[in-house]
Amino acid sequence: MEAIRGFFDSKAKIIQVDINATNLGKRSPIDIGVVGDVAATLEQLTPLLKQREKSDHLDRALENWKADRKDYKEHAEERDPSLIHPQFLTQTLDRLAADDAIFTADGGSPMVWLLRT
C-alpha cells in the first residue's frame, strides 16, 4: 500500500469517508476513517471550515500541475509507430470531440489516461 501513499503529499493527513466500513483503509493507509455518506458528511463539515489567507500549498500544487501538463503534452507528441501513447490518444480525443462532450472511464489505467488530457 505504500506505493499508493506516494500519490499524496508526504505531510498529507488522509481522511476517508465511505458508507461501507470494510472499505476504510483498503487502498491506502488513512489517518481518519469515517463511516457515512460523503454528501451528508461534507454538508455537516463545510460550515466548520475557515478560509485560509495563505495559498502556499495551492500555489505549489498549481505549479506541479502546470509541469505535469507540459510533460503530458511532450509525451503525446512523441512518435513511436509501434505504440499509441495514452497522452496522445486522450489529447486527440479531447481535441476532436465536441466542446460539450463528456468522457468517462472505469478505474485503473483508463482513469489515469483520461486524467492526462
User: What residue segments make up the domains of the chain, in order of their start?
Assistant: 1-49, 53-117
pTM for the structure as a whole: 0.48
66-98 pLDDT, tens digit each? 988 888 777 767 677 787 777 777 788 888 999
Mean pLDDT, residues 5-30 taken together: 84
| Residue 52, C-alpha cell as written in the block | 485560509
If one counts every other C-beta atom within 10 angstroms of the C-beta of residue 72, the result is 19
How many percent of the chain have pLDDT more than 90?
Answer: 35
pLDDT category at 116 given cuts 50, 70, 90 is: low
Task: Please give the span between the terminal C-alpha atoms of the chain, in angstroms, as a whole number.
Answer: 27
pLDDT category at 38 given cuts 50, 70, 90 is: very high
Q: Give the whole-angstrom CA distance, residue 60 versus residue 84.
A: 31
> To the nearest 10°, the Cα dihedral for 46, 37, 21, 7?
-60
Helix, strand, or coil (residue 17):
strand
| Residue 67, C-alpha cell as written in the block | 509541469
| Residue 42, C-alpha cell as written in the block | 461534507
